[in-house]
Chains A and B, each alone.
Chain A
């Protein structure tokens, strides 16, 4: 399926994945320190395991620690 992550179209080799699985697939560093917006809605971290990402979805990964920029928050 194709999804858009941070403005770029990306191919994921699955029909659908949970947000937690997507964090692993994309090898996201410091997943605890990333805020995820799915189709314009900020997700609760507690729902990453049950929220399913489907083809055509638009995701924004926003880091707010580490690099230190909170500009995206």
Chain B
């Protein structure tokens, strides 16, 4: 089945009782059984069934199956946010004294999670340049439990060679964990490029309309957990086999922390997935057109969009993302004041902290998402004072350009 078809049909066919073809929203905290033995069997894993929606929920499970189908993975866990998906993976794989090797070109929220949470619990994060393949090799040692990077650095828009970094991870028996939020499973086939676990903030392109906060993690089956450096996952793999990581992630971490999404949000995410392929094509087309237009504008000092042929990572876009560079671009105007002025003059384009919305969005990262980060962290993420980030929407490109044109002019 092709991607577009799976996006519409995978995970849910019709409701067995009513025949409903729209995914039912099961807003039930828990699930009743006729006999005490039945519930005991479900608890013991001897019978299939739902117990309590913090652990699993039928609406949420259907969306997990759909996303897992798009990624061709072993299984997926849907979470309450992209950040909670990252937290679930990191807490599952690391213990005090362990290390993470991470690209320094990271979303601000991830940087703060590493700094404010993980490092306080005794896990060291070693940062490397996103594209410096050898630095990943040098950074890995016996304590390294995972390598972390983003498919397309946000907002630096630099693109690591994931196949080569995946090879280094395999040589060193370390799972490669990748945040694919900006590329989605439509642009990036994570399994093919050797990723172990792919994470998405579903809030962005996957849902696509700025409604529901959500996240997902998918085990792609590329890492053999029987040889894991994490003792309890290695032990778990004797019974759960390739699902060992997912069992640990769901039952030890996700359930106990309580990162489950609401069934209503799962419904909205599912609805968004149906049109993911259509929307991504438009985001990519519009972003390229806007990038070309901005590039020719006299008030714009610099445009960064990997879809441009002269971008340093354009070849990697062709290799990893089949020539499509998603919907995010950045521009530099020379000063923070110029940036604020442009934002204030835009009419249709919304000034807000999100991306991947059907609507075109703009943000000054330095004074918002990265306002708590050090100068060094900002530099690593490519955030300068005169930088604006634009998430190009799926409106008609003429209207998007017209709004920028009038904002620059007035």
Contacts and interface: CB of A to CB of B under 8 A. Distances in A.
Interface of A: 6-7, 28-30, 32-35, 42, 44-45, 60-73
B239 A35 contact: yes
Contacts of A30: 48
A68 B48 CA distance: 9
B90 interface: no
Contact of A65 (B51, B241, B242, B243): B243
Interface stretch (B141-149, B244-252, B272-280): B244-252
Interface string B234-268: 00101111110011001100010000000000000
Contacts of B52: 68
A70 B46 contact: no
A22 B61 CA distance: 24
Contacts of B46: 6-7, 60-63, 72
A63 B47 CA distance: 7
Contact of B51 (A44, A69, A73): A69
Contacts of A63: 42, 45-48
Nearest to A34: B48
B50 to A, nearest CB: 6
B55 A32 contact: no
Contacts, number: 90
Interface in B140-172: none
Nearest to B239: A73
Interface secondary structure of B, over-half rule = helix
Contacts of B236: 70, 73
Given A42-B238, A70-B247, A28 B44 contact: no
A67 B55 contact: yes
Interface of B: 41-52, 55-56, 61, 74-75, 236, 238-243, 246-247, 250-251, 255
A16 B102 CA distance: 52
A44 B240 CA distance: 10
A66 B250 CA distance: 10
Contact of A64 (B43, B50, B243): B243
A67 B51 CA distance: 6
Contacts of A62: 45-46, 239
Q: 7 tightest A-B contacts by CB?
A: A68-B55, A72-B45, A70-B251, A68-B56, A29-B48, A6-B46, A62-B45
Contact of B247 (A44, A45, A65): A65
Nearest to B74: A32
B61 A66 contact: yes
Contacts of B247: 64-65, 70, 73
A60 B44 CA distance: 11
B275 to A, nearest CB: 27
19 contacts: A33-B243, A34-B48, A62-B45, A63-B42, A64-B243, A64-B247, A65-B75, A65-B243, A66-B50, A66-B61, A67-B49, A67-B51, A68-B51, A68-B56, A68-B250, A69-B42, A72-B46, A73-B239, A73-B240
A28 to B, nearest CB: 7
A69 B48 contact: no
Contacts of B42: 63, 67, 69
B239 A69 contact: no
Nearest to B41: A6
A72 B238 CA distance: 12
Given A65-B75, A67-B47, 8 more contacts: A29-B48, A33-B75, A42-B238, A65-B56, A65-B250, A66-B50, A67-B45, A73-B236
B390 to A, nearest CB: 39
